[in-house]
Structure 1
Amino acid sequence: MPRQRGLSLVEALIALVILAFGLMGVAAMQVKALQSASAGYTQSLANVAAVDAQERLWAALAAHQRCNSIPLATIESAWLSHWFTDPLAVLSHTQGQESRIDRQGCQFDVVVRLRTEPNEPHDSFNYVFQLPNQP
């Protein structure tokens, strides 16, 4: 009986199956990396939105001189529209309409609630800061 040289068809198919599983693992890692990068980007935008709310309140304090006289409802409505509710808003895809700005005296709590998928839980970010109460 002569000796065989090279690979048999069965060996080649087994090698292809192993290679296919390896490539599926690499593809799964790539998808997870893209999801994580997207989540990080969205969280960074949430941080920028919270800082924007704080800056809006500082500007209102300069105009009204007392933190109790700041028209919070007006500022909150404009902020929500700019970041979440307007169709062209940067975070409109995150269903962040439940975000809000709360006030207790001169302490403000900016709550940014994000949800990218309807069946996922919210990611909630709280940013607390205090404005000076000028006499």
Structure 2
Amino acid sequence: MNKQTGATLIEVLITIVILAVGLLGLSATQVMTLKNSNNAHQRYLAALAAHEMVERMRANPDGVETGAYDNKEVTGAETAVACTSTCDRSQIASLDLYDWGRVISSNLPAGKGKVVRNGTQFTLTVNWKEQHTGEKAGSNAGGAQDSSFEMVVDL
């Protein structure tokens, strides 16, 4: 009868390699889940910011009518308008745009917002950078990609 020596050691090493590959796959899945969750949260914040701006515009119909919101772009670098005692409709619109820019820039990476008017139809667009989760996500070619949320309303 021949004795086999070392067979158990090889079996254990193969098991460890298989387990390591499985755990590596599990951790990659977890990383992708976290990226996708973060991107979904950012999309939610962009939608919330656009909805908030639409409500601000609905609250200032005189500003909408006079074109105070037309073709404006915000980045968060705008300066606040100082109203002395009461604000007129254009000052309210400027404050709304200032607040909107601050919300977007503080909650979204490289966040920008834009309001475009076409007749009574307004298109609000929020742009930001999000983590790339598609092809080449784990390579140097991956990284941040441009994302946007667009809302079209009639006011």
TM-score scaled by structure 2? 0.68
State the alpha-carbon separation in 1 of the partners of residues 116 and 99 from structure 2.
15
State the alpha-carbon separation in 2 of the partners of residues 108 and 78 from structure 1.
18
More helix by share: 1
State the alpha-carbon separation in 1 of the partners of residues 98 and 67 from structure 2.
13
Q: CA RMSD in A?
A: 2.3
2:66 matches 1:49: no
State the alpha-carbon separation in 2 of the partners of residues 39 and 67 from structure 1.
32
User: How far did 1:122 drift?
Assistant: 1.0
The alignment-based identity, stated in percent, is 31
More strand by share: 2
Does the 8 Å contact 1:102/1:110 carry over to 2?
yes
Give the match for residue 95 of structure 1: 110
Write the deviation string for residues 105-124 of structure 1: whole angstroms up to 9, x where unpaired. Answer: 3211100111035x533112
Of 67, 77, 80, 2:98 maps to 77
Q: How many residues align?
A: 120
TM-score scaled by structure 1? 0.77
State the alpha-carbon separation in 1 of the partners of residues 52 and 21 from structure 2.
47
Give the match for residue 21 of structure 2: 21
Letter in 1 for 2:111: G
State the alpha-carbon separation in 1 of the partners of residues 153 and 36 from structure 2.
29
2:88 matches 1:67: no
Give the match for residue 113 of structure 1: 127
Moved more, 105-114 or 46-55: 105-114
Runs of 4+ that moved beyond 4 A? 2-7
Write the deviation string for residues 14-60 of structure 1: whole angstroms up to 9, x where unpaired. Answer: 11001100110111111111111111111111110110110110011
Does the 8 Å contact 2:129/2:146 carry over to 1?
yes
- Match of 1:111, SS state, is strand
- Match of 1:41, SS state, is helix
- Higher RCO (CA < 8 A, seq sep 6+): 2
